[in-house]
Structure 1
Amino acid sequence: MTPRPGDGGPAHLPVVVVGGGPVGVTAASLLGAAGVPALVLERERDVYHLPRAAHLDDEVMRIFQSLGVAEEVLVHTRPMASMQVVDANRRVLLRFPRSRHGPYGYPAANMFHQPAVEQVLRTAATERHGVTLRTGSEVARVEQTAGAVRVHARERDTSSEFVMDADFVLACDGARSPIREALGIALRGRRFSQRWLVLDAVVEGGLAGFPHAQQVCDPRRPATYVPMGGPRYRWEFQMLPGERTEDLTDPPVLARLLAPWVERSRVRIDRTASYTFRAVAAERWRVGRIFLLGDAVHQMPPFLGQGLCAGIRDAHNLAWKLALVVAGRADPAVLDTYEGERAPHVAGITRRAVLFGGVMQGGGRGGHGMRWLASRAALGVPGLRRLIERQQVPGLRPGPLLPAAVRGPGMGGRLLPQPVVMLPDGTPTRLDHVLGPGFALIGFGSDPLGDSTPEARADWERLDVLPVTVTPPAAAPHAHAVNDVTGVLTDWAARHRASSVLVRPDRYIFGVAGTHPRAAPSPDHLAVLLRRALRRPAQGEAPPFGSGSFYSAARYTSMKRR
């Protein structure tokens, strides 16, 4: 932190993150990796010692790869081979396989131990990405001015107070978010509220007979069983009206609940807690310079394991845009796309989670047998089955950074696959290691800038876009290209009639050039669209700041010199 020049006032930072959980630390690390200093203020002194979230999908693992921690995180995970939907007698109704080789370079579903993963993320944040983590610090209030956010906080151990200013504040302060409450932002959502008992345990000798996650469709008491990795397991049981936590954790009752899987004597309980599962989202994701992320802005039932995944996606979506704005490489108006892209995406996943929860619950207890049978039958409907199987990564809607006119066929708002490619020296590596941290323009079979005019090449350079050539599997080694040894990218490009593709820093596809009517006629056309989307000036134009911008032209110029 540095004092504000000339006034001896509070320290000033580009970004302050409130909340040091996985979402907050990931956001700060992504910013730090992009050269934006970030301070994380966390109320608790240490990582919470018990697990809460349980599942990471392959898109989240890809985000962790960008921070250099994916392999360390994988040590604390167990790939989930499949999820089974079973009836009250544990007979399998349906199986939903989960690939160990997902399209984004990692297993499609990974069960994990949260305290260990949080420690990995914190260590990487402070030791590799320049993040300042201040634990035991509680934010009392935030105040927005025309040019900054003033953060008032105190050390919980000493009650000493401190004040700092930030260009932006990211509220990652959980479901009860004090910042969201202080801003007067209401939660809106579906009429869905269920109380569940969550039980985390270690089982002596493990449960070799139950290697798959199970969703128990029992109209009397729906349940979930998840192997977490090593000897760790999780059970979740829906609580009936009037039941208390102590009612279900009474030894005879708990033994009966666990009996379909394991004898109670083999189980060491780490944690029992009751939660109310909700399906809500904040009516606003941003107020001025303050952004809400993770549980502070959305909460969903856990039936698809997407709660934390959604929060990590929030961090990734916002961090690269903030980094461009702080560096003066994009107009602050691009930050409006955070809510525009993330809110519909989260709403879509939440709807699917609620739908699947309804199938699990069936018709409820007593007198609703027909509804229960209908719910079971619904699981066999191909459309619903596909909905559940493809729940991890729905596409983003068109917007300024996802122009509809060049989305290509069937790839609009989608992530680019990440196969292994071969470097010119014969070294295999995952694709993202080649693409780098920013925008990348990939040419399939030829240099994507091969036909560009000198003016267009200068445009690409000003936009700081990395050109990458990918050759097909049978091609001879080339000093300036990587080889698609698996054929995944070559086949993907052929299916979508793409000659080149412009990929955003979060690996979502900005646009496609090729022969399809919904593709750009040339890569250079994508450069024009990107410049307009970022509101970057063309050569010789003034910086694109209007009356509604947060930064003055003078501040823009000073940021460019950093």
Structure 2
Amino acid sequence: MSTKIPVLIVGGGGCGLSAANFLADHGVDYLLVERHAGTSTIPKAHYLNQRTMAIYRQHGLDAQMIEQGAPLEKFGQIRWITTLSGEADMDARVVHEMEAFGGGSLRETYARAGALLPVKLPQHRLEPILREHAERRSPGAVRFRHEMKSFRDEGDRIVAQIFDATTGETSTVEAQYMIAADGGRGVGAAVGVQMHGRPSQLNVTTAYFTADLSPWWREGTLITHLLNPYNPEMSTNLIEMGPTWGKHCEEWVLHFPPGDPVQVDQTKVVPRIREVLGLPELVVDLHHVTNWTLESLMADRYRVGRVLLAGDAVHRQPPTVGLGLNTGIQDAHNLAWKLAAVLSGQADDSLLDTYEAERLPIGRQNVAWAVSAASHHQALLEAIGLGHRTPQHLRAANFDAYFDTSPMGETVRARAREMFATHRGGCQAHDMELGFSYEDGALTPDGTPEPARAPLRDVYHPVTRPGHVLPHAWIERDGKRLSTLDLPGPETTLVLITGPEGEAAWRRSAARTGQTFGVDIVVAGIGEGAEFADVEGRWAKLRQMSGTGAVLVRPDQHIAWRCPDLPDNPEEELSIAVAQVLPPALTPALT
């Protein structure tokens, strides 16, 4: 049997299933193959950041995630404690608490930055939602228990051999392009992609279990770091995994520290869980124990011929800051509209080269930031004498000093608070979520320098500079409230946002330019007297252009071009910008 399809997706995890939904919305047919029988049964990643939620909102995927996930008030804090309970002097002590990922006083700042707030939803609950939507949008296109055994790039197509584990049959698939979202399990190596960095930094054991912790659990915590005063091998962290959120959460994961003996003896896992938590009688139903390797790796290429790699196939990093899965989803988002443009004939194949030009630098930044945040957290704990590497004979004395009620104890805690505040680069990195930009790719730089960023990336400044994500502002038309981020979408090719004074001229130019290039350019005027009302006046403060200017926005909500004022020949300027975003096989005359 042989199947011909525009896009073959290899891998049915969060990245691959997201790509499937995005392609479907853009009207692109695909076939997704995944060797496993179903979606993940392990929680894995559990934080969907604000940029990712904006993407899922654009594709109508957000409602179930919000419904099933934890709202911000249920996870917007990080805690460092000794144990959950216990009778020893140092048990159940709170070392420090910190607002995180938009929680507490950060909520207002995050709410201003987007139409949706971040959501906590573990991967084993996210993937079924993505699969359900993909199967509904593209019946028969999502095939689990199907493994790609081999493939070759023949220059004008990919030819792959697909094994169906249910029937035992092998079929041939011919695709114009392949998205390798296989987690680095073979496609990258087969096409010569090399991963650079540290392939094996630490070995970690994760226990996934059910237990009733309601008598001791403090609601609103994303991660609880357990710092044992006596034994560094029992300093670990605990994370709730739903499906009920808060005090009555049923499922949990606990990450044991590197070097802990449970890595080689799983019979010790349940007793160690009880010991770490300070709950010797706790009833534990152990679901799964995973031994995994902490890596920090980056691919040297994202595209090789007709193979395009995404997600863990091109970047793998520590889970700190929650950038891993989010980066992969954003890879897929960047790639989907470009594949749609090329396959529909709107753009030349060279548009796909901009995928690597744009996403590889972001992947490199995110891997480096996650590594830095993880290292800093450990260094922070060591600096205050409570870390994993603190000599065992000093641990009890250091904890005694920390909780001492004397003036000197207050000094110790005050110094520690100053140091804990620097961890905001790991748990308040709002600018890492939203402030990244593409400096080269399917865009027209306007010559302005990249804005200065807060060193710890804890402050996000929205801008309309080309390459950046379109800033969020609430707008209204005919009584319906929208975000500016709702203007671009899968059903539109390009959106031209204008000021009220220049709206008419830009509409004429967009109509003629769109006709020349064979693309739809949707014009959205925002401001007094324009199509959309600027309901809070926020867009006028963020747009960084006059009332006659305009910004051109791509389907992935990134700004492609900015014109501060109405030029003498707006059609010519707009045409040049459109040709940069959607390079045609034969550039039309700009007349």
Structure 2: unaligned runs, 5 residues or longer? 83-92, 383-387, 400-411, 452-462
What amino acid is the match of 2:539?
L
Contact 1:452–1:524 (CA<8 Å) still a contact in 2? no
Q: How far apart are residue 341 of structure 1 and its match?
A: 1.0
2:482 is matched with 429
Contact 1:280–1:300 (CA<8 Å) still a contact in 2? yes
1:104 is matched with 114
Q: TM-score, normalised by structure 1?
A: 0.82
Q: How far apart are residue 391 of structure 1 and its match?
A: 2.7
Alignment pair present for 1:274 and 2:291: yes
C-alpha distance in structure 2 between counterparts of 1:383 and 1:19, whole Å? 34
C-alpha distance in structure 1 between counterparts of 2:320 and 2:568, whole Å? 40
1:464 is matched with 520
C-alpha distance in structure 2 between counterparts of 1:185 and 1:148, whole Å? 19
C-alpha distance in structure 1 between counterparts of 2:569 and 2:325, whole Å? 39
Q: How far apart are residue 460 of structure 1 and its match?
A: 3.6
Secondary structure (helix, strand or coil) at the match of 2:255 reads strand
Alignment pair present for 1:224 and 2:247: no
**Which deviates further from its counterpart, 137-146 or 111-120?**
111-120
Identify, as 1 or 2, the structure richer in strand.
1
Q: Deviations over 1:41-85 (max 9, x none)?
A: 111222233322211112111221222121012112113442326
Secondary structure (helix, strand or coil) at the match of 1:181 reads helix
C-alpha distance in structure 2 between counterparts of 1:239 and 1:19, whole Å? 29
Secondary structure (helix, strand or coil) at the match of 1:484 reads coil
C-alpha distance in structure 2 between counterparts of 1:11 and 1:55, whole Å? 37
Secondary structure (helix, strand or coil) at the match of 1:140 reads strand
2:80 is matched with 86
Alignment pair present for 1:178 and 2:186: yes
What amino acid is the match of 1:51?
P
Contact 2:183–2:313 (CA<8 Å) still a contact in 1? yes
Match of 2:583 among 535, 549, 553: 535
Contact 1:406–1:520 (CA<8 Å) still a contact in 2? no
2:429 is matched with 388
Match of 1:444 among 490, 499, 509: 499
Alignment of 1:19-418 (within 5 A): 19-81=11-73, 82-84=76-78, 86=80, 90-92=94-96, 94-96=98-100, 98=102, 99=107, 101=111, 103-108=113-118, 110-129=119-138, 132-175=141-184, 177-190=185-198, 193-204=201-212, 206=214, 208-214=217-223, 216=225, 220=232, 223-229=236-242, 230=244, 231=249, 232-240=251-259, 244-246=263-265, 249-259=268-278, 265=282, 267-362=284-379, 363=382, 364-366=388-390, 379-381=420-422, 384=425, 388-405=429-446, 410=451, 411=463, 412=465, 413-418=467-472
2:458 is matched with none
Change (3 A) 1:19 1:25: same
C-alpha distance in structure 2 between counterparts of 1:172 and 1:266, whole Å? 38
C-alpha distance in structure 1 between counterparts of 2:207 and 2:29, whole Å? 39
Q: How far apart are residue 137 of structure 1 and its match?
A: 0.9
What amino acid is the match of 2:256?
F
Secondary structure (helix, strand or coil) at the match of 2:148 reads strand
Contact 1:407–1:510 (CA<8 Å) still a contact in 2? no
Change (3 A) 1:420 1:388: closer
Match of 2:554 among 489, 499, 504: 504
Q: How far apart are residue 521 of structure 1 and its match?
A: 9.7
**Which deviates further from its counterpart, 149-158 or 380-389?**
380-389
C-alpha distance in structure 2 between counterparts of 1:498 and 1:295, whole Å? 43
Q: How far apart are residue 16 of structure 1 and its match?
A: 0.6
C-alpha distance in structure 2 between counterparts of 1:307 and 1:54, whole Å? 10
Change (3 A) 1:453 1:135: closer
1:546 is matched with none
Q: How far apart are residue 263 of structure 1 and its match?
A: 6.5
Contact 2:193–2:301 (CA<8 Å) still a contact in 1? yes
C-alpha distance in structure 1 between counterparts of 2:283 and 2:501, whole Å? 60
**Which deviates further from its counterpart, 155-164 or 241-250?**
241-250
Secondary structure (helix, strand or coil) at the match of 2:177 reads strand
Contact 2:509–2:570 (CA<8 Å) still a contact in 1? no
**Which deviates further from its counterpart, 222-231 or 53-62?**
222-231
Change (3 A) 1:125 1:93: closer
What amino acid is the match of 2:208?
D
Q: How far apart are residue 507 of structure 1 and its match?
A: 0.6
Q: How far apart are residue 417 of structure 1 and its match?
A: 2.7
Q: How far apart are residue 330 of structure 1 and its match?
A: 0.9
Q: How far apart are residue 367 of structure 1 and its match?
A: 5.8
Contact 1:443–1:469 (CA<8 Å) still a contact in 2? yes
Change (3 A) 1:271 1:353: same
1:16 is matched with 8
Q: How far apart are residue 408 of structure 1 and its match?
A: 8.0
**Which deviates further from its counterpart, 192-201 or 60-69?**
192-201
1:557 is matched with none
C-alpha distance in structure 1 between counterparts of 2:589 and 2:572, whole Å? 19
| Structure 1 stretches of at least 4 aligned residues deviating more than 4 Å after TM superposition | 366-370, 372-379, 381-387, 406-409, 452-456, 494-498, 519-524, 537-541
Secondary structure (helix, strand or coil) at the match of 2:125 reads helix
**Which deviates further from its counterpart, 149-158 or 207-216?**
207-216
**Which deviates further from its counterpart, 397-406 or 270-279?**
397-406
Alignment of 1:508-523 (within 5 A): 508-514=558-564
Contact 1:148–1:289 (CA<8 Å) still a contact in 2? yes
Q: Deviations over 1:195-242 (max 9, x none)?
A: 222233334264652422236385935533333341133332322276
Contact 2:270–2:284 (CA<8 Å) still a contact in 1? no
C-alpha distance in structure 2 between counterparts of 1:418 and 1:312, whole Å? 20
What amino acid is the match of 2:577?
L
Secondary structure (helix, strand or coil) at the match of 1:392 reads helix
C-alpha distance in structure 2 between counterparts of 1:453 and 1:254, whole Å? 64
Q: Deviations over 1:312-361 (max 9, x none)?
A: 01100111111101111111111111111111111111111111111222
Q: How far apart are residue 114 of structure 1 and its match?
A: 2.5
Change (3 A) 1:111 1:152: same
Secondary structure (helix, strand or coil) at the match of 1:78 reads coil
**Which deviates further from its counterpart, 357-366 or 200-209?**
200-209
Matched-pair identity in %: 22
Alignment pair present for 1:485 and 2:535: yes
C-alpha distance in structure 2 between counterparts of 1:365 and 1:20, whole Å? 39
Question: Across the two proteins, how many residue pairs are aligned to each other?
Answer: 518
Q: How far apart are residue 393 of structure 1 and its match?
A: 3.0
Secondary structure (helix, strand or coil) at the match of 1:75 reads helix
